[in-house]
Amino acid sequence: MLPIVQVFNNLHRAKEELKPMTPGQIKFYSCGPTTYDFLHVGNARALVVGDLIHRIFKALGYQVTFVRNFTDVDDKIIDRAHELKVDPLVHSQKYVDECLKDMDSLNMLPATHTPKVSDTMPEIIAMIEDLIKNGYGYVVNGEVLYNVPKFTEYGKLSKKDLESLQHGIRVEVDQHKHHPSDFVLWKPAKAGEPSWESPWGKGRPGWHIECSAMSKKFLGKTFDLHHGGVDLMFPHHENEIAQSEAANQCEFVHAWVHNEFLNFGSEKMSKSLGNVVTIRKFVETYGGKILRQLLASVHYRSKLDWNEEVIERAISDVERIHDFYLKFEKQGIGTLKVDTKEIEGVVAKMKEELANDFNTPGALSHFFSTIRFYNREFKDQAPSPEIHQMIQEIIEFTSLATGLVHHDAHATLEEARTARGIIAGKGGDNDQSVQIEALIIERREARANKNWAAADKVRDQLKALGVVVKDNPDGTATWSYEK
């Protein structure tokens, strides 16, 4: 029997059981990026949270249909393309490709479907026709608008009253609107902009209708779960609900989950505020595995402050995981048997945490307990086949559910050491990182052999390189540059 998953459903502002429409299957949509520029690490949080939800359902045994779109037709894309004097669709495709590279660097599983707006025009036009037919859309000079007051449940997600709403929509208020809250479904064509034929003349869709049409195309009129950043709750997700339920005459989504902001200082990270660190720049500097660790180790509904401390903590966690994994692989299977009560049922405990509103920090706490157990009990001898298999299963589950165990442990540790050097202002010298790691291993072996003089000599060599070594109670050692 599959675990029951509890999610914090923002539609009701409460944690509740997610009841799949089809037992054992999850249909899930996550709002993807607008591809007009390189993505920043704030965008990465939404991407990684979507990937974690995908991974967690798979790890819990569910069959998942996961749709994450690319918005490749949008005002921002057109404006940037005009600045650069390039075709907007060519420009957006360039950044779709760059986004895919960033996703790969973050160890993200491929989504089941990754539709683009430009490939979904027949479905968008058909949905707008349904809205007009049902009395929720109206045409003014080739522009189609949504009649917000007619949808009496408007505001049920954002909990906003219609008359007091602040209209953060992407287009200027049109004097021909029936109500100030009405939003655009179809825009008339303008010179230099991509456009498509429609019953209302050539034009292109508004922002909100795009996701309604793409989700319906691949998931149907009603599906289980919709995810996005908390900044999308209004107006985007509110408008998705209004469109989809008015067009399809049925419930749109059973549960809505939203990840919190990544904060830079006291403000959320965004291009418009100018406080941007791109995914590409961070990965080139510190590595994608560090960024994923940073983003995945905090609960998705908690705000995450961006600072040097959280980067250092992520580096330490990556080192801790992969020092253990490297040792586990190197030691292999032996004969040592110990009391395994401490790690019995770890996978079941991790599943329980993950089924509780995708609690990755809680699940990782059990994984780190396993690491402490292994480092304490198997300093010099390898575990028996039974214990080795038990730990192997914990590693494999953690890898699938979180994407935080990387099988190229040597390369991962080198990436982490380089990142540590950079953040300490040492420039991330790869040769020096390799030298330091070799000395750390040499000192660990000397200590294991109780050759204290040799261990002290290596410590002095490390000190000369500006490295401080901290010996942990479980027999491991971590290092950092002197500040």
Work out how many domains the chain is built from and give that number.
3
Q: Is 2 within the bounds of a domain?
A: no
Q: Residue 357's pLDDT is what?
A: 98
> In a 3-state reduction of DSSP, which class is residue 314?
helix
Query: Do 241 and 380 fall within a single domain?
Result: no
Same-domain check for residues 287 and 255 = no
Query: Binning pLDDT at 50, 70 and 90, where does residue 450 land?
Result: confident
**Amino acid in position 203:** G
More confident position, 275 or 465 = 465
Residue 266, pLDDT score: 60
H/E segment holding residue 353: helix 346-354
SS3 per residue for 356-423: ECCCHHHHHHHHHHHHHHHHHHCCCCCECHHHHHHHHHHHHHHHHHHCCCCCCHHHHHHHHHHHHHHH
- Euclidean distance between CA atoms 396 and 392, whole angstroms: 6
With respect to residue 5, please indicate whether it lies within any of the assigned structural domains. Answer: no
102 and 219 housed in the same domain: yes
> Do 72 and 125 fall into the same domain?
yes
* Segment holding 326, helix H or strand E: helix 308-331
- pLDDT value of residue 468: 82
Residue 9 lies in a domain: no
Q: Which CATH number goes with the domain that contains 255?
A: 3.40.50.620
pLDDT digits 0-9 by tens, 334-389: 999 999 999 999 999 999 999 999 999 999 999 999 999 999 999 989 999 999 99
Is 4 part of any domain?
A: no
Whether 79 and 217 map to the same domain: the answer is yes
pLDDT at residue 335, as a whole number: 97
Show the CA angle centred on residue 146, arms to residues 140 and 149, nearest 5°.
Answer: 115
pLDDT of residue 272: 56
The tokens of 217 are what?
A: 């195309």
For residue 340, which of 276, 391, 278 has the smallest C-alpha distance?
Answer: 391
List CB contacts of 483: < 8 A, sequence separation 6 or more.
424
Mean pLDDT of 132-145: 97
Between CA 341 and CA 412 the distance in angstroms is 31
Mean pLDDT of the chain: 92
Long-range contacts of 122-126 (CB under 8 A, 24+ apart): 123/213, 123/214, 123/216, 123/217, 124/205, 124/209, 124/210, 124/213, 125/186, 125/196, 125/198, 125/199, 126/213
Bridge pairing between strands 304-305 and 262-264: parallel
Q: How much is the pLDDT for 464? A: 79
Whether 302 has a pLDDT exceeding 90, the answer reads: yes
How many Å separate Cα 103 from the centre of its chain? 9
Structure tokens at 351: 């599943």
Q: What is the pLDDT of residue 429?
A: 55
For residue 15, what are the β-bridge partners?
8
Which of 425 and 231 is assigned the larger pLDDT? 231
Cα–Cα nearest to 124, from 193, 242, 248, 209:
209
Q: Are residues 95 and 236 in the same domain?
A: yes
Q: 158 and 29: one domain?
A: yes
- Is the pLDDT score of 172 beyond 60? no
Cα 76 to Cα 111, 288, 340, 414, 460, distances in angstroms: 25, 27, 57, 39, 56
Alpha-carbon torsion angle 402, 407, 408, 410, nearest 10: 90
Percent of the chain with pLDDT over 90: 80
Whether 394 and 437 map to the same domain: the answer is: no
- Confidence band, pLDDT 50/70/90 cuts, at residue 462: confident
On whether residue 268 sits in a domain, the answer given is: no
Q: Structural domain of residue 457, as residue ranges? A: 429-481
Average pLDDT (432-441) is: 71
pLDDT at 171: 46
Q: Are residue 403 and residue 451 in the same domain, yes or no?
A: no
- Same-domain check for residues 293 and 357: yes
What angle, 0 to 180 degrees and rounded to 10, lies between the N-to-C axes of helices 346-354 and 360-377? 160
Do 28 and 122 share a structural domain?
yes
β-strand 253-259 against 223-229: which pairing, if any?
parallel
3 within domain boundaries: no
Question: Does residue 204 share a domain with residue 119?
Answer: yes
Query: Distance between CA 398 and CA 394 in Å, rounded?
Result: 6
Q: Is 244 a member of any domain?
A: yes
The CATH number that applies at residue 397 is: 1.10.730.10
pLDDT of residue 273 exceeding 60: no
pLDDT-derived band at 435 (thresholds 50, 70, 90) equals confident
Q: Which residues contact 52 (CB under 8 A, 6 or more apart)?
A: 296, 300, 358, 360, 402, 403
The answer to the question of residue 439 being in a domain is yes
Last residue of a domain, which of 259, 291, 311? 259
CB 263 within 8 A of CB 269: yes
